[in-house]
Amino acid sequence: MKLPLPISVRTFCLGTTLALAAILAGCKPPSADTPASADKAGGKGLTVGFAQVGAESSWRTAETKSIQDEAEKRGVTLKFSDAQGKQENQIKAVRGFIAQGVDAIILAPVVETGWEPVLREAKQAKIPVVLVDRGVKVEDESLFATLIASDFVAEGRMAAEWLVKKTGGKAQIIELQGTPGAAPAIDRKRGFEEGIKASPEMKIIASQSGDFTRTGGKQVTEALLKVHAGVTVVYAHNDDMAIGAIQALEEAGKKPGTDVIVVSIDGVKGAFEAMVAGKLNCTVECSPLLGALAFDAVEKAKAGTAMEKKTVVPDRVFDQSTAAQELPNRKY
């Protein structure tokens, strides 16, 4: 016959049992509807790698800031890599992100080709890749989740259409191209050529890469002016090269904006300042403020939500007639 345990002992045993149950419950993994999981689905707790081209222009710097600011706003841990304009550095960075087991990768590719192997590695690791501002050429488009970018062909065409009206369809044009192989350089050239095709007296007399940099734009323009003194237009694939070209034109004794019309693309604050000063005639907007769209895409990709393969960011044309009014509104 077993004697009943004293009350103090029974109380101790019950307390021990409850404590043990609490400990075991604490060891359980959180369920899908716990606040922590909900936070991660909404951005908090995510770790995202961002492989950026570099800091070759004020536009690029603005894009980097947009993504960094949005990551901070959403509570995302952002791992940032500056490729300094070299694809091999970007590929190395993406492989590093994969090795670290990030939740997603945001990639602004230097050039269009050569991405298939590393993107396949990301897919095998179940890490979605969101492309921003530049696309890639791959046989399997499932290797990236989506592309968020402007229509670069349309930008080149808009610049050309503005120029045809400005010049009456007659011009001797120096073209400053972007980085060889980069999507904006390829597409802005193509769009511009399409835009002047119906005007036989609009002639591109020289075309050379300034690598999207202010220094490159200045150096190329200096060299081309020595060979093509009769130039009447400089068309630059971005504002930084155009500003470099303006410096070269002034040093050559020409008046940019008057003697030589200068047209470019991006719509950075410096371009508006140059238009207000009468030195740049026109810029086609290409917004670098892609942070919100990029992280919206990351969250959709992580949630398995279907989305378009490309989101086109709308662009506008600005010239000297609207520059002073628009300048205070520029965020980059």
- Do 169 and 192 sit in the same domain of this protein? yes
Question: Pick from 92, 94, 182: which is nearest to 135 by CA?
Answer: 182
CB 238 within 8 A of CB 264: yes
CB 238 within 8 A of CB 265: yes
* Neighbouring-strand partners of residue 104: 48
- Do 125 and 249 sit in the same domain of this protein? no
Domain interval for residue 226 = 152-286
Q: Can you give the chain as a three-state secondary structure string?
A: CCCCCCHHHHHHHHHHHHHHHHHHHHHCCCCCCCHHHHHHHCCCCCEEEEEECCCCCHHHHHHHHHHHHHHHHHCCEEEEEECCCCHHHHHHHHHHHHHHCCCEEEECCCCCCCCHHHHHHHHHCCCCEEEECCCCCCCCHHHCCEEEECCHHHHHHHHHHHHHHHHCCCEEEEEEECCCCCHHHHHHHHHHHHHHCCCCCEEEEEEEECCCCHHHHHHHHHHHHHHCCCCCEEEECCHHHHHHHHHHHHHCCCCECCCEEEEEEECCHHHHHHHHCCCCCEEEECCCCCHHHHHHHHHHHHHCCCCCCEEECCCCEEEHHHHHHHHHHCCC
* Neighbouring-strand partners of residue 211: none
CB 109 within 8 A of CB 181: no
CB 258 within 8 A of CB 234: no
166 located within any domain: yes
Which two tokens mark 199? 């005007």
- Provide the CATH number for the domain around residue 273: 3.40.50.2300
Contacts of residue 122, Cβ cutoff 8 Å, sequence gap at least 6: 94, 98, 105, 128, 129, 143
115-147 core/surface letters (b: 16 or more CB in 10 A; e: else) = beebbebbbeeebbbbbbbbbbebeeeebbbbb
- Do 81 and 178 sit in the same domain of this protein? no
- Do 145 and 157 sit in the same domain of this protein? no
pLDDT at 278: 98
3 located within any domain: no
- Do 83 and 144 sit in the same domain of this protein? yes
Pairing of strands 261-266, 104-107: unpaired
Position of tokens 């690791």?
125
37 located within any domain: no
- Do 267 and 142 sit in the same domain of this protein? no
- Do 282 and 292 sit in the same domain of this protein? no
pTM for this prediction = 0.83
Number of domains in the chain: 2
Centre a 10 Å sphere on the Cβ of residue 292 and count the other Cβ atoms it contains.
15
Question: Pick from 72, 113, 120: which is nearest to 98 by CA?
Answer: 120
27 located within any domain: no
24 located within any domain: no
Q: Could you give the CA distance from residue 310 to residue 223 in angstroms, rounded to a whole number?
A: 39
> Tens of pLDDT along the chain (332 residues)?
444 444 443 443 344 443 434 333 343 333 333 333 344 545 568 999 999 999 988 899 999 999 999 999 999 999 999 999 999 999 999 999 999 999 999 999 999 999 999 999 999 999 999 999 999 999 999 999 999 999 999 999 999 999 999 999 999 999 999 999 999 999 999 999 999 999 999 999 999 999 999 999 999 999 999 999 999 999 999 999 999 999 999 999 999 999 999 999 999 999 999 999 999 999 999 999 999 999 999 999 999 999 999 999 999 999 999 999 999 999 89
262 located within any domain: yes
